[in-house]
């Protein structure tokens, strides 16, 4: 079944189409959920919530732009709304001048180790780091999504980078 037909069938509420849509996109969306979650179980919950939102809003998709982009945006927004409701986002509201850049020598650490370090970041820093570095949102977009100022976004990104740099430096010492 092609994507357009699949979407039309999902709009009609056909379970088979919903199942196929889930099978087609759950891997990609689970990866996104994992970036914003503390652990695999929380990511699975976020994936479930995201698909519930996707299926409830699929009538709003008007075949304008990428469907995958549309469901990714819904997934990010669903996860962020959940964290806002649960009050995980007690974001720092101090302003910093320029965005702090973290410079480190290249460390011989694995990608899984680095992703583990990112997952260990406090929610407010991990969300900002992922949105900015991994998903390419601007500080203005992040501040709108999280209901904060752009200065807060910059501050949280700088703190996330500092924490990651310290963990990488510590890893480099352990490797040597």
Please tell me the pTM assigned to this model: 0.67
Query: 3-85: which CATH topology?
Result: Rna Polymerase Sigma Factor; Chain: A (1.10.1740)
Half-sphere exposure of 35 (CA within 13 A, CB side): 18
pLDDT, one tens digit per residue, over 15-39 is 999 999 999 999 999 999 988 888 8
DSSP string of 5-48, one letter each residue: HHHHHHHTT-HHHHHHHHHHHHHHHHHHHHHHSSSHHHHHHHHH
pLDDT, one tens digit per residue, over 111-156 is 778 888 888 999 889 999 999 998 889 999 998 888 889 999 999 9
φ/ψ (deg, to 5) at 103: -105, 130
Closest residue by Cα to residue 76 from 137, 23, 19, 21: 137
Query: 111-175: which CATH topology?
Result: Arc Repressor Mutant, subunit A (1.10.10)
Q: In the chain, what are the domain boundaries?
A: 3-85, 111-175
């Amino acid at each position: 079944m092609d994507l357009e037909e699949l979407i039309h069938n999902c709009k009609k509420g056909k379970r088979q189409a919903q199942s196929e849509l889930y099978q087609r996109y759950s891997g990609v969306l689970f990866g996104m959920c994992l970036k914003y979650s503390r652990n695999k179980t929380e990511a699975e919950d976020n994936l479930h919530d995201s698909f519930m939102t996707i299926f409830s809003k699929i009538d709003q998709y008007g075949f304008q732009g990428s469907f995958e982009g549309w469901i990714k945006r819904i997934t990010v927004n669903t996860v962020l709304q959940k964290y806002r409701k649960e009050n995980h986002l007690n974001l720092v509201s101090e302003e910093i001048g320029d965005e702090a850049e973290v410079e480190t020598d290249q460390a011989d650490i694995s990608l899984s180790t680095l992703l583990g370090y990112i997952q260990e970041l406090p929610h407010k820093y991990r969300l900002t780091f992922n949105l900015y570095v991994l998903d390419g949102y601007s500080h203005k977009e992040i501040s709108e999504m999280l209901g904060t100022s752009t200065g807060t976004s910059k501050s949280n990104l700088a703190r996330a980078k500092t924490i990651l740099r310290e963990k990488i430096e510590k890893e480099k010492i352990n490797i040597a």
